[in-house]
Chains A and B, each alone.
Chain A
């Protein structure tokens, strides 16, 4: 290393290692002593590590590599089925639902914190902003779902196939909305809008880190009102287009809210687990306290109940009205081969975590909270699987390619967030509410 520096023209390889080593050295120096304006925290006596530094690129490489390998193996297994990726697509859509829930949920969460001018969550907000900024990545990962539809391939979405639509009255009737061209337009709109909004929040927040401008926070609050309305509409229609449209003969007006429940659960699970990982790596060690975990845990608990409330409301209306075009969907899930999965959701997604997360003591214990986060993450996936897969499988049939798709997509999100975190701050250093967030305590 030292020789390469002294004699840079010794050999091409020597030069290369010399520069990269020097670069890494410079980067390490930068993270250990942040001296730029953005890193200065606007709170007296603040002392904590607020940057990932070089670990960001290491995490990006690890998670990104895992994502590529998992998705490649999953796709290869899908191809080996020899059904034109039909079976694989269903598993991929279910896994994509979890990734979308986490990413769209993060965007919702960031928007919500600005909307209500939340103080407790300021130290956590940047993590949400980073995961929301995965939206363009998610748009790329949506291609295996969107491209076949645009090409008129009806393996998953029957309404994409012109001949099928022509042969069935229901599909013909719905083709004004469910057609490949309009589907593409909607997808571009959803992901475009979300990407711009997520980028706006992250960039504004980072500009605040640099300039400390007092006008930035109120502007973000003003934007979040209309943004929240637009989010509510886009998430509803997007979930209908991607997941409800898998079974185009069935419909439920509560479907959008049902998926939204997964979004909010997804973001809280992600935030809690990410913060725990960061703290184990010595980042934000004193910034994030039990009080912040307690509040995140409360939200997780609340949305466990919210999910049950929405899921049950959807069920009850259909059960009570007893209309054949609606009940077929639940009949297959409760009385067909999927009964065990349905009851797993009733207990695993609601009853057990309800009692599990009820106690204050549990929400304030890192190990127990982490356990329930992993539990809920698994349940969000089982829920998505239960929504999508009965369309093709009469009985639950979990394949390695389904789970690899899930692992690949989640790793991609981690890689995207790690890359975006880069060497920049993990908290908004000049947010006017930062001091209150640091001192936050539950009564």
Chain B
């Protein structure tokens, strides 16, 4: 069974160094919990570009297309009226509503997407059981990692724990519930 560890650090630089070190040891699954967004930790974790921007683009495009379609269906298809000699279907005349709906759907996608990707709807996670973890939203920096039993480099739990302590971890604990 995979074993998980959680370590607490006093500042972001120490956490970033620890991330680099356990990477070298071959640990693949890592995550960090910090009181604020820090560039050091973000760079060390090397997270892939967020999928949120793509989702927002798709959401916005769908919203705009749906609004344009609705306008066309009502104004040009179902009830084509002659208003001052203007053609019932003229694309530029449909722009404001399509644009507004595009913006609405894009921001809606951004809001829901951020909640979803941030897993914010869940009320409980195993790390909440770690004593002192509430400091992650105040003044300390936390690292969670999972040691795959098969990976040759990772070494034992004791080895990684010792490394983390040497790198300035304030505390290192096993995480019974896993990192998820």
Q: Are A319 and B86 in contact (CB under 8 A)?
A: yes
Q: Are A312 and B84 in contact (CB under 8 A)?
A: no
Prevailing SS type, chain B contact patch: mixed
Residues of A near B87 (CB, < 8 A) are: 335
Q: Smallest distance from the beta carbon of A442 to chain B beta carbons, Å?
A: 14
Q: Smallest distance from the beta carbon of B65 to chain A beta carbons, Å?
A: 14
Residues of B near A335 (CB, < 8 A) are: 87
B115 proximal to A (CB < 8 A): no
Residues of B near A439 (CB, < 8 A) are: none
Quick one: which of B84, B85, B87, B92 has the most chain A CB within 10 A?
B92
B177 proximal to A (CB < 8 A): no
- A268–B8 Cα distance when bound, in Å, is 50
Residues of A near B86 (CB, < 8 A) are: 319, 322
Residues of A near B85 (CB, < 8 A) are: 322
Q: Smallest distance from the beta carbon of B52 to chain A beta carbons, Å?
A: 16
Interface size on B, as a range, is 10 to 19
B-contact bits for A321-350, CB 8 A (1 contact / 0 none)? 010000000000011000000000010000
A315 proximal to B (CB < 8 A): yes
A316 proximal to B (CB < 8 A): yes
A-contact bits for B88-116, CB 8 A (1 contact / 0 none)? 00101101100000000000000000000
Residues of B near A319 (CB, < 8 A) are: 86, 90, 92-93
- A346–B91 Cα distance when bound, in Å, is 11
Q: Are B92 and A322 in contact (CB under 8 A)?
A: no
Least CB separation from A311: chain B residue: B92
- A316–B92 Cα distance when bound, in Å, is 8
- A316–B100 Cα distance when bound, in Å, is 15
Residues of B near A322 (CB, < 8 A) are: 83-86
Q: Are A346 and B92 in contact (CB under 8 A)?
A: yes
Least CB separation from B95: chain A residue: A312
Interface size on A, as a range, is under 10
B-contact bits for A280-317, CB 8 A (1 contact / 0 none)? 00000000000000000000000000000000100110
Q: Are B96 and A316 in contact (CB under 8 A)?
A: yes
Residues of B near A316 (CB, < 8 A) are: 92, 95-96
Q: Smallest distance from the beta carbon of B117 to chain A beta carbons, Å?
A: 21
- A312–B94 Cα distance when bound, in Å, is 12
Least CB separation from A319: chain B residue: B93
Q: Smallest distance from the beta carbon of B118 to chain A beta carbons, Å?
A: 23
- A122–B86 Cα distance when bound, in Å, is 50
Residues of A near B83 (CB, < 8 A) are: 322
Least CB separation from A308: chain B residue: B95
Q: Are B84 and A315 in contact (CB under 8 A)?
A: no
- A312–B93 Cα distance when bound, in Å, is 10
Least CB separation from B85: chain A residue: A322
- A319–B93 Cα distance when bound, in Å, is 8
Residues of A near B95 (CB, < 8 A) are: 312, 316
- A424–B41 Cα distance when bound, in Å, is 48
Least CB separation from B93: chain A residue: A319
Q: Smallest distance from the beta carbon of A208 to chain B beta carbons, Å?
A: 38
Q: Which of B65-95 contact A (CB under 8 A)?
A: 83-87, 90, 92-93, 95
- A99–B5 Cα distance when bound, in Å, is 67
Q: Smallest distance from the beta carbon of A165 to chain B beta carbons, Å?
A: 30
- A98–B96 Cα distance when bound, in Å, is 30
- A53–B118 Cα distance when bound, in Å, is 59
Residues of B near A346 (CB, < 8 A) are: 92
- A316–B91 Cα distance when bound, in Å, is 12
B-contact bits for A212-224, CB 8 A (1 contact / 0 none)? 0000000000000
B-contact bits for A50-66, CB 8 A (1 contact / 0 none)? 00000000000000000
Q: Smallest distance from the beta carbon of A350 to chain B beta carbons, Å?
A: 11
- A346–B94 Cα distance when bound, in Å, is 14
Q: Which of B39-54 contact A (CB under 8 A)?
A: none
Quick one: which of A315, A319, A335 has the most chain B CB within 10 A?
A319
Least CB separation from B92: chain A residue: A315
- A312–B90 Cα distance when bound, in Å, is 13
Least CB separation from B96: chain A residue: A316
- A312–B86 Cα distance when bound, in Å, is 17
- A316–B90 Cα distance when bound, in Å, is 12
Q: Smallest distance from the beta carbon of B57 to chain A beta carbons, Å?
A: 10
- A316–B84 Cα distance when bound, in Å, is 15
> B interface vs A, CB < 8 Å?
83-87, 90, 92-93, 95-96
User: Could you list some 18 contacts between A and B, CB below 8 A?
Assistant: A312-B92, A312-B95, A315-B92, A316-B92, A316-B95, A316-B96, A319-B86, A319-B90, A319-B92, A319-B93, A322-B83, A322-B84, A322-B85, A322-B86, A334-B90, A334-B92, A335-B87, A346-B92
With A315-B92, A316-B92, A319-B86 given, name 14 new contacts (CB 8 A). A312-B92, A312-B95, A316-B95, A316-B96, A319-B90, A319-B92, A319-B93, A322-B83, A322-B84, A322-B85, A334-B90, A334-B92, A335-B87, A346-B92
Nearest 5 A/B pairs, CB to CB? A322-B84, A319-B93, A315-B92, A322-B86, A312-B95
